[in-house]
Structure 1
Amino acid sequence: MNSVLNGMVLDLKGAYPVKEGPLNHLRLAVKDLFHLAGVPTSAGNPHWLESHPVPDETASSVLKLLNAGVELVGKTLTDELAYSLNGINYHFGTPCNYAAEGRIPGGSSSGSAVAVSMGLADIGLGTDTGGSIRVPASYNGLFGLRPTHGVIEMDNMVPLAPQFDTIGWMTRDLETLSKVADVMLPPQTVHLPKQLVVFHPIIQGRHLWTDDATNWLADRAAVFEAVSHIELDESLLSFASETYRTLQGFQAWQVHGEWITNEKPVLGSDIAARFDWCRTITEAQYEQAERDRASIRRQIDDYLPSDDTVVMMPTTPGAAPLLDETPEELADYRNELMGLTALAGLTRRPQLHLPVLKDQGAPWGVSLFGAMQQDKALIALSERLLEVNDG
């Protein structure tokens, strides 16, 4: 596992018989957090691999896809214990961002994103706790869905923060993403939202909603009965980021603290620093963050009062950061990024990334962010939006 430029850590072609089903002829790459019976799980860390038994059960989410006819082609790299948004793994390396040379691939589902982007798989199965489907989808020019929290079982997996952990997937086209949704999601009544709210985030005085985004939406505004605009100032985004980080960090220590304390594994410096901070979060800080979460959720609920309303917003601040940015620069960027990605986690809502824009010549795009249990409505609305030709 010393070279993962294509995102793969384990070739599984031919290891599982292909069944007949709606996903025939589609290849699946699975993030190395999902247990496969008889196959080791590394969770992106060699000491985790050494200190945990080989699983004897397969995650039900993977079984759903296998039973629907996919071909499982491999396991893919994850950031250590899925606790990053960069896609840079201290032990195993950094998958190549095929869509944006010289830029990070985005984590922690980086391997699945790169495998799909390079055409080695059609479906990249991953997890999204703080943005780990949406961010690599944005950086690699893919469609990516973080479903409503809790609609897909998270059994037989390595968790990070169960309050936020969500199974998601990335594809090169919306049709494939929709086919996977039909297999993975429970039945839902599809009602296309008629009211659009556009979030205009501002970070360090920079408006993230660009002229290109405005022009792209202008060609599609007729899809909605009404379009309104709301500025999200930096104070709200910072508040959401800090609230999320505290809740996630407290849970991450509850999940992994005993193993880290007892086993003393070697971790990448950024991951180690993150867990060192997690160790210091108190019950009182966690409880205050829960109250802050409720406050943020009420505010977002005010913006989306019914299933008839959907938000469109930038998924990330822009193109993926460059590979040569310093650890300090990446850490500062991560805090800004999480102001955007935290909103779905804090409110348990689904979010779907659409790779429809560029920034600095690299992939970028917007997300649809909607009501709980309206995942398929977001997909149907996206199909409608993409039917409209630019200009």
Structure 2
Amino acid sequence: MNGWNVYFVIFRDRQTVMVPHYRVYPQSPATLTAIVGCHLPTITGENVHYGTPINPSTPHHIPGGSSSGSAVAVAAKLVDFSLGTDTIGCIRIPASLCGVFGFRSSHGAVSMDGVLPNSQSLDTIGWFARDPSVLHRVGHVLLQLKTEPRRSRRFVVADDLFELSKASKPKTSHFVKQMTEKLSGYQSPKHVNIGQFIASNVASLKAFCEESSIVQSGVGALKALSSVMVLLNRYHLGKLFFNLLMFGSWDKGSINKLEGMKIQTIEALGSPGEFLIYEFKTNHGEWITSVKPKLGANVSERVLTAIDSMPEDVKGLYKVRAELRAALQDLLKVDGILVLPTIIDPPIKRNSRKGLSSEFNDRALFLSSISSMSGCCQVTVPLGEHDGLPTSISLIAFHGSDKFLLDTVLDCYSTLKEQVRLAFESKPLPDTNGHLDASELLKEKGNAAYKGKQWNKAVNYYTEAVKLNGTNATYYCNRAAAYLELGCFQQAEDDCTKAISLSKKNVKAYLRRGTARESLLRYKEAAEDYKHAHVLEPHNKVANLGEKRLKKLMS
């Protein structure tokens, strides 16, 4: 299997036995076979040294990482479940991209004994499964759970994150609502702008926010949160050594292999985030200074910076974590479950250009930072395929509520899956051409509502105008402006794209799409829009300033 060290775990009753063999054991009613290990050093799951596991769901796309081997083994039906570790998304992301369940346990809920740490403040044990009952059973064994009385459940939908996501569409609110109506013990779903919530309730995060003109809707706060967790775009040291640590003795070949794996992992590192600079130095500084490994171009400088650095205020980093956990505890309490997309972007193709992989990486960490930094448990829930690609949502519950979250998935998954199927099969109402004067009147009403800062009302008027005349670029462009004010950046981008398809020289559409894409952290595309607007109108100050700002952000 591409040179991975494979370990099978057999669960019999409540005992866990690690077995260093390379075969799947025959199944029986008392036995489940599983795989543990198969770790790769990047969030995309690609590995130039040992080969990239093939994603069974979409073979031409990345499997996600770093626990990609474990996710692929489950998705390919080689085993019933598999284990891995999750530091900044390493279970949740590959689960989403491979179309399987992935559970990240609460920080500290499962012992990390025997696992070489990457970042003790973030590392957790996780597992994959195709079936929610298997996911549930594995959790009961690892977490040593006891029976609890059933309590009511309350879903809280992070609307702002679904607006950011290209991988999960805003129909989520609809099918979550439909599901709760069909199940007993579920309250009607609530809604939250989680970015704004975090910005308002995690005061210490302000010290890490970049100065920007588009911090609205909490985008800046979430970006800051991901940088505190890890702006270490390629990371993972502890995970790659898990299999080697399972050996009872070290021979020269094992030691050489360990050192080689360390070097390969370090070569995958991006610029370290402050959290991991501190813990990277603690965990591996002595090895770096004593072995002095030969590293790739531009890597040595980054590693030496990490070794020689100490954050000025380490306490500030831990304060962010403590405040975030307290804020989510207050939001979710004992019955709340946050509903959010697992990833923002659909899976990219294997061997994609470096810039695209880097953007995917950054935006994936943007969402995964919420549970990683808070220590909360999170489960990736597969929803089948849409447009030929796996889709999923994630559920987050408060720290220590792992059983509550596992029970919820087991209880609601079949109903959720059916509602998703119905939602995806439903077709949008077709546009109909109406009388020109009527659509123009609606546009004027929309303009008046926009000037009065009644953004939702403006959107409704522009939408009615579009229904009457779907070929007028102005209606889409104006609605995009209202969407921007509401923080609905993905919908704003879609409207601007439609406007541009109808009017190739629509400067406002390019500028507004640039703003939307900048808010979605897709800086390269945003820069191209500002540049296009600048070419069309060389003296346009907004286009000029936007182009300069994006160059600075990308540098």
User: If the TM-score is normalised by the length of the shorter chain, which range does it land in?
Assistant: 0.7 to 0.9
Superposed counterparts of 1:176-215, under 5 Å = 176-188=134-146, 189=148, 191-202=150-161, 210-215=169-174
Query: Is contact 1:355–1:366 with CA below 8 Å preserved after alignment?
Result: yes
Give 2:114's match in structure 1, choosing from 156, 159, 162: 156
Look up the equivalent residue of 2:286 and give its one-letter code.
E
Look up the equivalent residue of 1:79 and give its one-letter code.
L
CA distance in 2, matches of 1:274, 1:147: 31
Higher relative contact order (CA 8 A, sep 6+): 1
Superposed counterparts of 1:53-64, under 5 Å = none
Superposed counterparts of 1:198-277, under 5 Å = 198-202=157-161, 210-222=169-181, 223=183, 224-231=186-193, 232=195, 233-245=218-230, 246-265=274-293, 275=303
Structure 1 equivalent of residue 317 of structure 2: 289
What is the CA distance between 1:149 and its match in structure 2?
1.1
**Residues 263 and 301 (structure 1 numbering): CA distance in 2 closer, same or farther, change over 3 Å?**
same
Look up the equivalent residue of 1:142 and give its one-letter code.
V
Structure 2 equivalent of residue 344 of structure 1: 371
**Residues 116 and 185 (structure 1 numbering): CA distance in 2 closer, same or farther, change over 3 Å?**
same
What is the CA distance between 1:217 and its match in structure 2?
1.7
Does residue 5 of structure 2 align to residue 10 of structure 1? yes
CA distance in 2, matches of 1:213, 1:201: 12
Structure 1 equivalent of residue 82 of structure 2: 124
What is the CA distance between 1:133 and its match in structure 2?
0.8
What is the CA distance between 1:264 and its match in structure 2?
3.7
**Residues 313 and 274 (structure 1 numbering): CA distance in 2 closer, same or farther, change over 3 Å?**
farther
Does residue 307 of structure 2 align to residue 316 of structure 1? no
CA distance in 2, matches of 1:195, 1:359: 27
| Matched position secondary structure for 1:9 | coil
Q: Which runs of 5+ in 1 are unaligned?
A: 29-35, 40-67
Look up the equivalent residue of 2:40 and give its one-letter code.
D
CA distance in 2, matches of 1:267, 1:135: 28
Does residue 396 of structure 2 align to residue 369 of structure 1? yes
**Residues 381 and 287 (structure 1 numbering): CA distance in 2 closer, same or farther, change over 3 Å?**
same
CA distance in 2, matches of 1:331, 1:320: 13
The share of aligned pairs that are identical, in percent, is: 26
Look up the equivalent residue of 1:211 and give its one-letter code.
P
CA distance in 1, matches of 2:11, 2:110: 22
Structure 2 equivalent of residue 165 of structure 1: 123
Segment of structure 1 superposing worse, 198-207 or 314-323? 198-207
Look up the equivalent residue of 1:315 and give its one-letter code.
T
Query: Is contact 1:201–1:209 with CA below 8 Å preserved after alignment?
Result: no
Query: Is contact 1:105–1:114 with CA below 8 Å preserved after alignment?
Result: yes
Query: Is contact 2:163–2:170 with CA below 8 Å preserved after alignment?
Result: no
Give the total of aligned pairs.
341
| Matched position secondary structure for 1:369 | strand
Structure 2 equivalent of residue 58 of structure 1: none
What is the CA distance between 1:216 and its match in structure 2?
2.9
Structure 1 equivalent of residue 476 of structure 2: none
Give 1:301's match in structure 2, choosing from 306, 326, 329: 329
Query: Is contact 1:319–1:360 with CA below 8 Å preserved after alignment?
Result: no
Segment of structure 1 superposing worse, 199-208 or 237-246? 199-208
Segment of structure 1 superposing worse, 183-192 or 169-178? 183-192
Structure 2 equivalent of residue 384 of structure 1: 411
| Matched position secondary structure for 2:5 | strand
Look up the equivalent residue of 1:225 and give its one-letter code.
Q
What is the CA distance between 1:319 and its match in structure 2?
2.2
| Matched position secondary structure for 2:4 | strand
Look up the equivalent residue of 1:344 and give its one-letter code.
S
| Matched position secondary structure for 1:219 | helix
Query: Is contact 1:89–1:268 with CA below 8 Å preserved after alignment?
Result: no
Look up the equivalent residue of 2:38 and give its one-letter code.
L
Encode CA deviations 1:229-277: one digit per residue, 9 max, x unaligned: 1123311210210111122342123212222333244667798787456
What is the CA distance between 1:22 and its match in structure 2?
7.1
Q: Which runs of 5+ in 2 are unaligned?
A: 22-29, 196-217, 231-273, 423-555
**Residues 265 and 122 (structure 1 numbering): CA distance in 2 closer, same or farther, change over 3 Å?**
farther
Structure 2 equivalent of residue 356 of structure 1: 383
Look up the equivalent residue of 1:127 and give its one-letter code.
T
Query: Is contact 1:23–1:69 with CA below 8 Å preserved after alignment?
Result: no
Structure 1 equivalent of residue 38 of structure 2: 77
What is the CA distance between 1:344 and its match in structure 2?
0.9
Q: Is the radius of gyration larger for structure 1 or structure 2?
A: 2
CA distance in 2, matches of 1:329, 1:164: 26
Which structure is higher in strand share? 1
TM-score (norm 2): 0.55
Query: Is contact 1:351–1:369 with CA below 8 Å preserved after alignment?
Result: yes
CA distance in 2, matches of 1:86, 1:145: 18
Query: Is contact 1:79–1:109 with CA below 8 Å preserved after alignment?
Result: yes
Segment of structure 1 superposing worse, 155-164 or 289-298? 289-298
What is the CA distance between 1:307 and its match in structure 2?
0.6
TM-score (norm 1): 0.77
Superposed counterparts of 1:22-171, under 5 Å = 69-71=31-33, 76-80=37-41, 84-171=42-129
Segment of structure 1 superposing worse, 173-182 or 359-368? 359-368
CA distance in 1, matches of 2:326, 2:379: 21
Encode CA deviations 1:139-195: one digit per residue, 9 max, x unaligned: 100101111111111111222111111111001111111111121113343544422
Query: Is contact 2:162–2:168 with CA below 8 Å preserved after alignment?
Result: no
**Residues 280 and 96 (structure 1 numbering): CA distance in 2 closer, same or farther, change over 3 Å?**
farther
What is the CA distance between 1:214 and its match in structure 2?
3.2
Encode CA deviations 1:325-355: one digit per residue, 9 max, x unaligned: 2223322322221121111121111111100
Structure 1 equivalent of residue 507 of structure 2: none
Structure 1 equivalent of residue 487 of structure 2: none
**Residues 359 and 190 (structure 1 numbering): CA distance in 2 closer, same or farther, change over 3 Å?**
farther
Structure 2 equivalent of residue 325 of structure 1: 352
What is the CA distance between 1:298 and its match in structure 2?
3.8
Look up the equivalent residue of 1:230 and give its one-letter code.
V
What is the CA distance between 1:290 and its match in structure 2?
2.2
Structure 2 equivalent of residue 55 of structure 1: none
| Matched position secondary structure for 1:150 | coil
